[in-house]
A and B are shown apart, each in its own frame.
Chain A
Amino acid sequence: MTKPLALAIKWVLIAAAVAGAFVIATKLAEAGNTLAVVLAGVVGLGILAIYATRRAVPLKYLAPGVLLMILFQLWPVVYTANLSFTNYGDGHLYSKEESVSDIIAQSVREVPGTPRYKMSVAVKERASVETADLILLLTNPEGATFTGDPSGLKPLAPEGVTKAPSGKILSAPGYTLLTARQVNARSADLSALAVPTSDGGGIKPVGLSEAFEGKPTMSYDAASDRITDSSTTPPTVYAPADARWTNVADPSQTLPQGWKEGVGLANYTRIFTDPTLREGFVSIFVWNLFFAIFSVLSTFLLGMLIALLFNDPRLRGKGIYRSLLILPYALPIFVTALVWKGMFNQDYGIINQLTGLNVDWLGTSLGAKTAILITNLWLGFPYMFIVCTGALQSIPQDVREAATIDGANAFRTLRSIIMPLLLVAVGPLLLASFAFNFNNFGLIYLLTKGGPFNGADTSIGSSDLLITYAYRLAFSGSAPNYGFAAAVSVIIFILVALMSIPGFRRTKALEEIN
């Protein structure tokens, strides 16, 4: 490559990166996230400082990877730890101010004679029409267009917006409009949606294509920090308690919109003090540990035996054996685990057919655990077979011959010569395999989803690992509890760290960085 061309590419890339940082910063500024704007600016200037000058040569090579690592590996870890000290989750997704404005907007009742808006329901472009936050595209009687969501009403620039003769918006740049059927499927979300307006009222949908603007029945008094509902007689007063608005007269009654707040160590103390949770957590942990240890030992044993079997120079066709034996390990986990799930089916699966048994593999606690261990033995033994084959071949022949001359029989040679040498060689890999299986999400989730669920706490499955338990807390079911899930993740972090220390200290590589 000639020098001018290389230089041109370099400056185009720098300009593109800085422009990209600038665009992101502008969008962040629109979203009102000051801290993120500053960070984007720092990244942009950093790129300029690193690549536009002749200094800091190592950074030129490290910056891309380090930036990605900070953003998508280290920052998530820090953020998880942060989350674990909050109640973030279902009913506690927003700030206290947002919960107040949402409650007030939700309480809106239509006042006769107030304007009705033509309404279309949309989501952000590229967002999922089934799950993303809904946005209302509104046209007022004068024909002006707006977007509305729980954060408020904003004008929608008319450029690129197409409208039906009635005024209803048919398309708008940056948004995906939902069809009537899609809106219907999300009617529950739609009826929960209310757009606060600047004069203290709110806009709520009526049916699928209209919305009204009305006056709220709830009011908030900042001085006393109370919400009053004037639609009841006498008016109901709600006061903040435990991150929710609680009826002063009847504390069992709360409004659905709570807010996010720091809860200190509450998530952690809950795990260790709530009796059902503690019992469930301990049983998950014990099974998790057993699963990881048993998986490593069983796969190692089978892999080693097969490696010993083929460790004979006279044996022909070793290459074919090896190519075929590696297949269980080579196939993607989502193929193998799901096929095993089909094979373990009680009524139709071939495991019961071939063995003549009628075991409810996936429906009972013991059956599910056995199925998991069998499947993981099948999945993992090829790896151990390959590792052991390599290690066996590196054991010098003369050591074995010396043992034979000393009168050791085959078994004695295996026990006293081969095994110790083998274990030294594959030890670190066994530790790593243990660490991997300790968090073997894919296998458990695909095979049993952590189930069956028949304990005292139905959120705790009998074949759950800690990682699948944390996943379910956050992403399955109707009431995600991100804060609690984060606390479980932090505990897994700590356990993994404790278990990795021996492996890390043994790593010879650390002494040999040149």
Chain B
Amino acid sequence: MSAPVPADPRLEQRLEAETREPAPASPKRRGLGGHVWWRHALGILALIWALFPIVFIYSAATNPSGTLNTASLFPSGFSTVNFEALFNDASRPYWTWYKNSMIVSTIGALGAVFVGACAAFAFSRLRFKGRRPGMMFLLLTTFFPALLAIVAMYIIFAGIGDVLPAFGLNTLAGLVLAYLGGALGANVWLLKGYFDTVPRELDEAAIVDGASHARIFFTMTLRLVMPILVTVFMLVFVGLYGEFMLASIFLTDVDTQTLGVGLYGMTLGTTANELFGRFTAGALLASLPVMVLYLAFQKQLVGGLTTGSVK
């Protein structure tokens, strides 16, 4: 997953400001109105820069001849041959990759949210020795992502595979476990910040009513913090969906690969040019879930990204 950013209290205000309606223009400035056309002109230039590769993906994916040398920036006719070729390629099981990516990202994100929420509850609501050092230690661990220990991860999971084949290299379960190792450090700060905003009086009232800590956590707190759980779920989901390094060394069999590893394989070797149309068709479909997530939950994802991590 991505590198961390220390949580910054100013961010709260900044995000709030960002999501607020823009302040009304001062009367003095309104007098200058009408001279924003050059901003639009430059804005469209920025859009061209941002979008031309994406237009190119679409053009190449719908290009009838489906090779790199015939691909052009603008669509040259609409054809689904690349998609059909992609779906009917027995040596490259595209839908299996899709399914694997979905399984890994969903289970990995659910697991990360669960262990993160549990730990955030402890750090926010319970008082124990080592709480402050614990939080600081978690922040420290996020500076050293597991990808730096990739050699050891590979050897450790090869060893796990010897004892428990279901969790070794080349299994989705093993990959999810490897991802979950970094789950705590990456998300607890974000989660705890939100947990702290839930009034403590609610807990106290529940305790007076005789509720146990488990009952408070599962039936009350988790419901109240649902927005941040959803946000963290989506952040982790997007992060794992795009993760390439660990997946590429863990998943060697074509049937266990995720979209990233599988699509990467299509761009290698002498067939890369010939397969380019199929590759872009696959890339286009692979982009859809995250694109939809981003457009639908822009506020939450952007907010979480600026506090939690960068790409």
Contact = CB atoms under 8 A, between A and B. Distances in A.
Contact of B50 (A128, A338, A378): A378
B166 A330 contact: no
Contacts of B182: 69, 72-73
B110 to A, nearest CB: 13
A338 B287 CA distance: 13
Contact of A436 (B131, B149, B253, B310): B310
Contact of A509 (B6, B13, B156, B293): B6
Interface string A494-508: 001100100110111
B114 to A, nearest CB: 7
A24 B177 CA distance: 16
Nearest to B272: A342
A107 interface: no
Interface in A459-510: 467, 470-471, 474-475, 482, 485-486, 489, 492-493, 496-497, 500, 503-504, 506-510
A329 B155 contact: no
A19 interface: no
Contact of A73 (B9, B25, B181, B310): B181
A411 interface: no
B208 interface: no
Q: Which of A330, A474, A512 has the most CB of B within 10 A?
A: A330
A446 B219 contact: no
B291 A64 contact: no
Given A128-B252, A474-B154, A343 B53 contact: yes
Interface in A58-91: 58, 60-62, 64-66, 68-69, 71-77, 79-80, 83, 88
Interface stretch (A156-164, A189-197, A210-218, A345-353): A345-353
Contacts of A331: 54, 287, 290-291
Given A79-B149, A435-B143, A342 B267 contact: yes
Nearest to A391: B14
B219 to A, nearest CB: 7
Contacts of A327: 50-51, 54, 291, 294
A329 B116 CA distance: 25
A428 interface: yes
Contacts of B260: 332-334
A208 interface: no
B22 interface: yes
Q: Which of B43, B47, B136, B217 has the most CB of A within 10 A?
A: B43
A334 B302 CA distance: 20
B266 to A, nearest CB: 8
B66 interface: no
B156 A76 contact: yes
A428 B72 CA distance: 41
A238 interface: no
A127 B13 CA distance: 51
Contacts of A436: 2-3, 309-311
B180 interface: yes
A237 B163 CA distance: 38
A1 B57 CA distance: 51
A69 B185 contact: yes
Contacts of A335: 57, 263, 283, 286-287
A436 B148 CA distance: 12
A126 interface: yes
A125 B88 CA distance: 27
A37 to B, nearest CB: 10
Nearest to A466: B148
B223 interface: no
B287 A332 contact: yes
A69 B46 contact: no
A432 interface: yes
A496 B143 contact: yes
B56 to A, nearest CB: 6
Classify chain B's interface size: 35 or more
B241 A332 contact: yes
Contact of A338 (B144, B283, B305): B283
B148 A439 contact: yes
A454 interface: no
B284 to A, nearest CB: 8
Contact of A339 (B7, B53, B185): B53
A326 B267 contact: no
Given A127-B170, A432-B5, 11 more contacts: A64-B114, A76-B156, A124-B162, A309-B43, A327-B291, A334-B263, A335-B57, A383-B305, A383-B311, A387-B306, A394-B14
Interface of A: 1, 6, 10, 24, 27-28, 31, 33, 36, 57-58, 60-62, 64-66, 68-69, 71-77, 79-80, 83, 88, 124-132, 174, 306, 309-310, 312-315, 318, 321-336, 338-343, 345, 347-350, 353-354, 378-383, 386-387, 389-391, 393-394, 397, 401, 425, 428-429, 432-433, 435-436, 439, 441-442, 445-446, 467, 470-471, 474-475, 482, 485-486, 489, 492-493, 496-497, 500, 503-504, 506-510, 512-514
Interface of B: 2-10, 13-15, 17-18, 20, 22-26, 29-30, 33, 36, 39-40, 42-43, 46-47, 49-51, 53-54, 56-57, 60, 67-69, 71-73, 114-116, 118-119, 121-122, 126, 128, 131-132, 134-136, 139-141, 143-156, 161-166, 168-171, 177-178, 180-185, 188-189, 196, 213-215, 217-219, 238, 241-242, 244-245, 249, 252-253, 259-260, 263-264, 267, 273, 276, 279-280, 283, 286-287, 290-291, 293-295, 298, 302, 305-306, 309-311
In the A-B complex, list the 8 residue pairs whose CB atoms are closest, starting with the nearest.
A72-B181, A436-B3, A507-B6, A65-B115, A76-B149, A332-B242, A390-B18, A334-B260
